[in-house]
Structure 1
Amino acid sequence: MVKKQKYVAYLRVSTKKQGYSGLGLEAQKEIILRHLQDKIPIAEFVEVESGRKTERPKLKEALKECRKTGATLIVAKLDRLARNVSFLSNLLESDTEIVFCDFPQANKMVLHILSAISQYEAELTATRTKQALEAKKLRGFKLGNPEHLMDKHEQAIQNSIRTIKEKADNNPNNKRAVAMLRTLTGKNATYQEMADFLNEQGFTTSRGCSFSKSTVYKLIRRYGL
């Protein structure tokens, strides 16, 4: 008789408000249940903690349960686990199997690369936000006042273009592909070879399609690889 695989679910929200309201938790539960199809996790642990912090008592409890029951830890999204490279690296070296619903094909090498990119982007975003706020103060803007945001039609257009670009940059499929392309471009592979490799490893475009050499070329140009 084949032994049925057991799973322990780990869910994380960043604030107490989200934890009390259930905001974000239901979506994570739905992703996990959809991934498992007819299976139900034997236990569920909910953490209320920032992704950049490494004090995770509920995660420790979840891992302990996995070791005790021989279960696999299942997480809805990679960023629900950690944005800290050393933290995720130590976790991946543990004896517990981990499955990410948004990227089930990922092996340990890929996860290390993605966590490094995620940490870099989180730190870069924080720095840019701080610099932008300081620059606005120096120009005399009153922060939090919406009257400056849409005062010109041209500015509205630029805001729309910037939003579309940020949406593409933050797309998880694009992030994964770019993380791998950073490695592949250093090996002097052709665009077609890169596209074939990404497709073989289960990567998809921002719209969930297979890669072609033209989509690889566009990503390399967009991110300056």
Structure 2
Amino acid sequence: MKTTYIAYLRQSTQKQEMSGLGVEAQREIIQNYLKDRKPIAEYIETESGRKSDRPKLTEALEVCRKTGSTLIVAKLDRLSRNVAFTSKLLESDVEIVFCDFPEANKLVLHIISSIAEYEANLISQRTKQSLQAKKARGVKLGKPKNLLDRLEQAIENSNKTNHQKALDNPNNKRAIAMLKGLVKEERSLSEMARILNEEGFVTSKGCQFKASQVSILLKRYDLK
């Protein structure tokens, strides 16, 4: 009997909920993991990763128990950034699989979760210290929403610059040209990844390509 899956996706803000930012990427990661299978249900939560009050997650876990399904999550940090909360879930009666660590056992997941929470606390602490230092220098910080808007604008500008640099890179031009040809040949994402690897192309981190990364490239350079 084949395993059935319930998908759980989490986004942190209402703004992400309106734009769909993050959810589509999680959905794509899950689908690439399941390949030709589909989750029998999907639950989307809009909540901070630090909070334990998760009505949608509670619903998803209840359906998993009723149907004997496995909860599937794109990434460990999408479940929670609270190590105690994650540990409790890992010890529950519902099987959970994380697409970024599919082979990891519970001990490894506990360790990874602890590191993720530690890093989140460090980022929060550094942000507070930076804001306090700016305030002490007399810098007008403004409203949180304005700060967020400025940050998003800076990210967008940076992405545009990096995008143009990528297009101007001769090696990237050759990869894009190859992908265009593979799209016309109606090759699958897995086949495209295999061909890129055989041709010696690597990702920005120096790793081999996977189907999910090819999909991101096709969208980034509007090759579909």
| TM-score above 0.5, yes or no | yes
| 1:60-99 matches, cutoff 5 A | 60-99=58-97
Cross-structure match for 1:42: 40
Shift of 1:4: 1.2
Structure 1 Cα separation of the partners of residues 119 and 27 of structure 2: 26
In the TM superposition, what is the alpha-carbon distance from 1:136 to its structure 2 partner?
Answer: 1.6
Tell me the amino acid that sits aligned with residue 7 of structure 1. Y
Report the secondary structure of 2:80's partner residue: coil
Partner of 1:159: none
Q: Tell me which residue corresponds to 2:12.
A: 14
Aligned to 1:127: 125
Q: CA shift at 1:5, angstroms?
A: 1.2
Q: C-alpha separation between the residues in 2 aligned to 1:207 and 1:43? A: 36
3-state secondary structure, aligned to 2:43: strand
| Amino acid of the structure 2 residue aligned with 1:143 | L
Please state whether the residue corresponding to 1:116 is helix, strand or coil: helix
User: Residue 169 of structure 1 corresponds to which residue in structure 2?
Assistant: none
CA RMSD for the aligned pairs? Answer: 2.0
Q: Secondary structure at the match of 1:8?
A: strand
| Unmatched tracts of structure 1, length 5 or more | 147-205, 210-225
Distance 1:45 1:30 in 2: 14
Code of the residue aligned with 1:39 in structure 2: it is: R
Matches within 5 A, 1:1-225: 3-143=1-141, 207-208=206-207
Question: Which one is further off, 133-142 or 77-86?
Answer: 133-142
Amino acid at match of 1:120: Y
- DSSP-derived class of the 1:18 partner: helix
Structure 1 position 133, deviation (Å): 1.0
- TM-score with structure 2 setting the length: 0.63
**TM-score of the superposition, structure 1-length normalised?**
0.62
What is the alpha-carbon distance in structure 2 between the residues aligned to residue 43 and residue 63 of structure 1?
11
One-letter amino acid matched to 1:28? Q
How far is 1:85 from its partner? 1.1
Q: Partner of 1:197 in structure 2?
A: none
Number of residue pairs the alignment of both structures matches: 149
Distance 1:133 1:65 in 2: 44
